[in-house]
Amino acid sequence: MSKLINSSEALQFINDGDTLLVGGFGLSGTPLTILDELAESDKKDLTVVSNNLGESDRGLGKLLLAGCLKKAVGSYFTTNRDAVSAWNSGELKIDLIPQGTLAEAIRCAGAGIGGFYTKTAVGTKIAEGKEEKNIDGERYILEKAIKGDVSIIKALKADTLGNLIYDHTARNFNPVMAAAGNIVIAEVDEIVEVGEISPHDIVTPHVYVDYLVKNKYMKQGGVYVESI
């Protein structure tokens, strides 16, 4: 059974009110094609878990402007001014989480772990309302795992089974998100036959990946541009 679907077909797996785990650090490693498709749909009340909210009108920034989002969970939103103003006006809820806690919370969800104790953020505003525990003389707070209804990730290349490799630092949150969504859709630049990617190079094994979507953008001069 082929895992390859059109970007428009990806929408059928996403329901109003869903929590989406979306890969990327800024726009690097972000599934731009699927996000474009979502921004043009009438999906609403989505919660997005992602390090940032893209840039103004790019990546997740498009979903925000299109009114698809109810809530954003991530570590850094101040680089997208639209996110700041949507939060100020009450249109967007924001859950701010330290970057390492975010990565670990998603990793835990994928590994079947309910939560974890961390020293990060102990004694800060972010720890308010969270359980604190003393372990061997040090203070820790409890952070719960973060799972998604759908993970939308971005890889450089897939084989037809769904094994994935990534481009440099575009890997970021994508491998942990691959394990933490009920349905996992990977957007890729290229799809090759099984066996063409060395087992030594595969970062995300195919077990995690349900569907593949081909990226409509092409890389030119080191940045993704709309292909003609």
Partner 1 sequence: MLSRFDRIKIAKKVAEELEEGSIVNLGVGIPTLIPDYLNGKKVYLQSENGLLGIGPTPDEEHINMDLISASKKPITMDKGASLFDSSDSFVMIRGGHVDVAVLGALQVDRYGEIANWTIPGKTILGVGGAMDLVAGAKKIILASTHQAKNGQPKLINELTFPSNGVRKADMLVTEHAVFKFTDYGPELSEILSDISIDELRKITGTKFKEKITT
Which residues sit at the interface with partner 1, rule CB under 8 A?
Answer: 25-29, 51, 75-79, 83-84, 87-88, 94, 96-104, 106-107, 118-126, 139, 156, 166-176, 203, 219, 221-224
Length of the chain: 228
- Least Å from the CB of residue 39 to partner 1: 20
The DSSP element (H or E) to which 179 belongs, if any, is helix 174-180
Quick one: 66 or 165, whose CB is closer to partner 1? 165
Quick one: 5 or 126, whose CB is closer to partner 1? 126
Amino acid sitting at position 128: E
CA dist., res. 30 & res. 19, Å (int): 16
Phi/psi at 10 (nearest 5 deg)?
Answer: -60, -30
Quick one: 19 or 174, whose CB is closer to partner 1? 174
- The CA-atom distances, in angstroms, between 25 and each of 5, 30, 79, 200 are 25, 7, 12, 25
| Residues 70 and 93: beta-carbon distance below 8 Å | yes
Quick one: 41 or 79, whose CB is closer to partner 1? 79
- The CA-atom distances, in angstroms, between 43 and each of 67, 80, 88, 182 are 9, 21, 23, 18
Quick one: 14 or 109, whose CB is closer to partner 1? 109
